[in-house]
Structure 1
Amino acid sequence: MNMVENARWDSSLSFILAMIGASVGLGNIWRFSYVLYSNGGGSFFIPYLIAIAIMGIPFLILEYGIGFSFKDSFTNIFKKINPKFEFISWIIILIIFTIGVYYVVIIGWDLAYLFSSFTFSWGNDPALYFTKTIGGSSNLSNPISFLIPTTLCVVFVWFLAWLISHKNLNEGIAKFSKIAIPLLFVMMAGIIIYALTLQGAYIGIETLIKPDWNMLLNINVWLAAFSQILFSLSMGQAIVVTLASYLPEDSKLIDNVFIVVISNSLFEIFTAFGVFSILGYMSFNSGIPMIQIISEGTGLIFVVFPNIFNIMGPIGHILAPLFFLVIFFAGMTSIIGMMEPVINSVLHKFKMSRKKSVTIVCAIACMFSLIFTINIGSYLVGIVDEFANTFGILLFVAIQCIIFGWIYDIKSLIPVLNENSRIKVGKTWVIIIKYVLPIFIIIMWLMGVSNLLLNPELINLIVYSIITVLILTASGILYKIKS
């Protein structure tokens, strides 16, 4: 236990790279470009930047300050503020654990496609390949049959996560981040630069950034901007608090926030240009209108892009492995950061070594992940993803604003935050945390929940109920266990 209690980043660079790794993930690559396109194109940058200014940066500053001040596990921090709050903290930790369970499955899909990209074994119908071999479908007639390629890849991903995380902080996460993040950025830069030179790239870029100023009057566009920032920066997921708890005393907290936010935003914006340049190439060469090509999520990565690589000729055999390797690195850096709060909280709760804590968490998570490698795996991933993000994260960001802003003396963080930082915070920051964010996020949560519960399918309700019961029961047990 002492090994992690006394753990400190060996440099600010290690922390910044680990934070960037935790933030830059699959959503930056397959989600942001579609959000930008479907919410007004170039005009979307106005609510996007405002969301960064009044939600992303202020809340990250809060998380940095809390982690740095307490230098303890996420659950212990809540317990120190009020012993009863430990129950809430375990719910948050287990929701993050749930997200990690299915997030690894998506990384497993990508790894399977990475292997397939050398021979294009997805054939002429990548959609059929995905449903039959990798991700499955919503066909409930034969749900229990395992998709062996995905099963093997998921086990390997969890083994790799264990291999990195079970070492001490600087030999494991820090060293991996110092290698993975520069490689990730260099590889993505190469893809983007090449994509911009493709025939028809201009079609995609024009489609992406063509502004629709009337969309600024649509409340859903603003909600989309705030939602993108919320998930893109891993806000409220205990990741930032945990990684910041390892910072040395002379850290420039607020300055680091700006470095991470700027890096994350530049990555997803330039990635969107690369993605739409390639989609523009597809439209130019196939004659298919852009509106029929544009997709998001698994449809974009595992169906549209393989189809594009199929028509690229020899260069496709170079670009495809590089593309899926970039996604793999982005996924791995994110899952390592995502599991750290879980590992650290278990470690402190049960007073065990880091290696033992990592082994237990990864083994249990791997067993749950295997549930999503059956024939309806992608269908289940979609259901659980909606539950975790709509019911869970939004609500608990608001709760954390209330706990840290109203019950904990948030003003006591101001001297800590400002001490070594060139950028300072004051009363305005406190007002945002105490009033603006809770109100806005609760509105977002209520709208999300109402949409989710509007005519839901029976299987969705069953899955929601099972997850809720499991999380609440496990949180109650962990809360009752005396540490």
Structure 2
Amino acid sequence: MEERQNWGSRAGFIMAAVGSAVGLGNIWRFPYIAYENGGGAFLIPYLFALLTAGIPLLILEFSIGQRMRGSAPLAFSRLGKLEWYGWWQVGVAFIIATYYSVIIGWSISYTGFAVFQSWGQDTGSFLYEYLGVTDSWNVSWLGGIQWGVFIPLLVVWLVVFGVLHRGVKRGIEAAGKIFMPLLFLLMILMAIRGLFLDGAMAGLNAFFTPDWSGITNPKTWLAAYGQVFYSLSIAFAIMLTYASYLPKKSDINNNAFITAFADSGFSLISGVAIFSAIGFMATQSGGAVDEYAKSGVGLAFDVFPQILNVMPLGKLVGVLFFISLVFAGLTSLISIVETSVAAVMDKFQLPRRKAVNWAVGLAAFFSLFYATGSGLYILDTVDYFINNYGVALSGLFFAILMGWILNKTEDIRDYNNSISEIKVGRWWNFSIIVLTPSVLGYMALQQLKTDLTTNYGDYPDSLISIGWAAAIGVIVMGFYMQSIRSTNPRFKVEKSGEEEAV
């Protein structure tokens, strides 16, 4: 088995971790969530959630990864007979990779479309034509491969394949050092450009003006916790895997704070860029900001092209915007796929190149389902269920596991404080043991209640069943993978000195 690789520098690790955290959601989700939940007032519950859930869980993942020096399945197998949970996390990441890659492919296409503003005036219809979206979902007919989606998707996988083949230092770290500074620079340039647009202040006022009534609304606090949780790549093996490449005695607490605040800073810059452009569009059309305030695919590939059509230097800004989506997506996708690579290497003692071949090959194959005429329906459904019942439930179990079942928070906090510049107090234990499980548990119950009574998006049962199958399947897969005997002796649960320390 190959010797475990390490990061070349602390800066390289932080760049990679921030690259994983900063993704498409920072650009097209955070601004809208903040706008819908009190504007500037949302920053208070958001910061509270960051300090009481995001950073504590990030510290926990960094600590386990660094000390166990293994992928999620290996790390949790050494903490007890919990290998299945590590594979659950890897399975969640794998499914996210299959559709995340397709969205990056769309962004590559739209970078080219932006040069000539090929989307025309009816941007919504153009998007559906580009994707070849079928009139309705049909389980027996997917609508065939859409070659305009397939070709950029292939480019995405070739880039990921090349980066991961080069390893941790020469591949992932090098890519992070290139993509992340460029991404921050591009978004800052877009934000500066947006500030000088006519009507920009209308958008920024809508984004930042506090609606204090939102502070007393439980939905606002749940939205804040949800945004923090999903944005920081917590509980689906990424940060744990990345931390496993850290040298021993690396500063855990400080790295977590830097990663979390860099991610939040990028979200705020994105909010300025997006809402200044939305304010400009509202002023030009004589409409209201809320007519154009959307999130996700609708914002990026429908509303923003409309704005670019009437914006001065719209073609240039369009290229910058969609390249930003490509860079943000790629840094996250690389980290997502690396979880599978590391897990396969550890479990089956494969060399990195073979593990990359398997992980990228399988993910690329399954991503083809989203490149069909029915791909948008499948993507929307799987994304909804895997986030709500994959990522969120995994995070809930993670907090309960470490805080209650294994009762490791005190030992981990003492160890982290002994090697970190920033010391965390008992608020960290309280966050892991009480606060995070309470909030995530409530969110999970409310979500389950909704989904058992109403079909998401009014989709037919055949499509909803795919979402449930994805969410439940990753857990079943975890137990199946644990049942496969590993030739790696590190998977045997023994009381070594290292394990006792945890």
Shorter-chain TM band: over 0.9
Aligned counterpart, 2:316? 318
Deviation at 1:59, TM superposition (A): 1.0
Aligned counterpart, 2:2? 2
Aligned counterpart, 1:466? 469
Q: TM-score, normalised by structure 1?
A: 0.96
In the aligned structure 1, how far is the partner of 2:467 from the partner of 2:314? 41
**Residue aligned with 1:453, SS:** helix
Q: Deviations over 1:187-208 (max 9, x none)?
A: 1111110111111100100111
Aligned equivalent of 1:384, options 376, 382, 385: 382
Aligned counterpart, 1:127? 124
Paired AA for residue 385 in structure 1: D
In the aligned structure 2, how far is the partner of 1:256 from the partner of 1:135? 44
Q: Deviations over 1:164-207 (max 9, x none)?
A: 01112100000010111001111111111011111110010011
In structure 1, stretches of 5+ residues that fail to align are: none
**Residue aligned with 1:123, SS:** coil
In the aligned structure 2, how far is the partner of 1:32 from the partner of 1:244? 26
Paired AA for residue 53 in structure 2: M
**Residue aligned with 1:169, SS:** helix
In the aligned structure 2, how far is the partner of 1:36 from the partner of 1:358? 38
| Range with greater deviation from structure 2 (231-240 or 468-477) | 468-477
Deviation at 1:479, TM superposition (A): 1.5
Q: Any conservation in 2 of the 1:279–1:293 contact (CA below 8 Å)?
A: yes
In the aligned structure 1, how far is the partner of 2:280 from the partner of 2:142? 37
Q: Deviations over 1:392-434 (max 9, x none)?
A: 1111111111222234333222233112322112433222212
Aligned counterpart, 1:479? 482
| Range with greater deviation from structure 2 (107-116 or 468-477) | 468-477
Aligned counterpart, 1:239? 238
Q: Any conservation in 1 of the 2:71–2:237 contact (CA below 8 Å)?
A: no
What is the 5 A alignment of 1:232-271? 232-271=231-270
Q: Any conservation in 1 of the 2:388–2:444 contact (CA below 8 Å)?
A: yes
Paired AA for residue 474 in structure 2: I
**Residue aligned with 1:247, SS:** coil
**Residue aligned with 1:419, SS:** helix
In the aligned structure 1, how far is the partner of 2:243 from the partner of 2:348? 22
What is the 5 A alignment of 1:340-355? 340-355=338-353
In the aligned structure 1, how far is the partner of 2:474 from the partner of 2:421? 41
Paired AA for residue 193 in structure 2: Y
Q: Any conservation in 2 of the 1:112–1:134 contact (CA below 8 Å)?
A: no
The sequence identity of aligned pairs, in percent, is 34
Deviation at 1:40, TM superposition (A): 0.8
In the aligned structure 2, how far is the partner of 1:396 from the partner of 1:470? 13
In the aligned structure 2, how far is the partner of 1:135 from the partner of 1:234? 31
In the aligned structure 2, how far is the partner of 1:22 from the partner of 1:469? 25
Deviation at 1:346, TM superposition (A): 0.9
Q: Any conservation in 1 of the 2:390–2:471 contact (CA below 8 Å)?
A: no
In the aligned structure 2, how far is the partner of 1:155 from the partner of 1:54? 40
What is the 5 A alignment of 1:192-341? 192-313=191-312, 315-341=313-339
Q: Any conservation in 2 of the 1:117–1:320 contact (CA below 8 Å)?
A: yes
Aligned equivalent of 1:372, options 367, 370, 373: 370
Paired AA for residue 279 in structure 1: I
Q: Any conservation in 1 of the 2:39–2:211 contact (CA below 8 Å)?
A: yes
Q: Any conservation in 2 of the 1:8–1:247 contact (CA below 8 Å)?
A: yes
| Range with greater deviation from structure 2 (17-26 or 249-258) | 249-258
Paired AA for residue 128 in structure 1: S
Deviation at 1:226, TM superposition (A): 0.3
Deviation at 1:287, TM superposition (A): 1.3
Aligned equivalent of 1:114, options 90, 95, 111: 111
Deviation at 1:461, TM superposition (A): 3.0
In the aligned structure 2, how far is the partner of 1:250 from the partner of 1:410? 18
In the aligned structure 2, how far is the partner of 1:135 from the partner of 1:388? 24
In structure 2, stretches of 5+ residues that fail to align are: 487-502
- 2:189 is the counterpart of 1:190: yes
In structure 2, relative to structure 1, the CA distance for the partners of 1:207 and 1:137 (3 Å cut) is: farther
Q: Deviations over 1:347-371 (max 9, x none)?
A: 1111101111011110100110000
| Range with greater deviation from structure 2 (94-103 or 113-122) | 113-122
Deviation at 1:122, TM superposition (A): 1.4
Q: TM-score, normalised by structure 2?
A: 0.92
Aligned counterpart, 1:16? 14
In structure 2, relative to structure 1, the CA distance for the partners of 1:475 and 1:421 (3 Å cut) is: closer
Paired AA for residue 481 in structure 2: L
Indicate the RMSD between aligned Cα atoms, in angstroms.
Answer: 1.5
Moved over 6 A (4+): none
**Residue aligned with 1:188, SS:** helix
Deviation at 1:465, TM superposition (A): 4.1
| Range with greater deviation from structure 2 (406-415 or 87-96) | 406-415
Count of aligned residue pairs for this structure pair = 479
**Residue aligned with 2:419, SS:** coil
- 2:94 is the counterpart of 1:97: yes
Aligned counterpart, 2:145? 146
- 2:427 is the counterpart of 1:428: yes
In the aligned structure 2, how far is the partner of 1:210 from the partner of 1:342? 43
Q: Any conservation in 1 of the 2:62–2:240 contact (CA below 8 Å)?
A: yes
Deviation at 1:53, TM superposition (A): 1.2
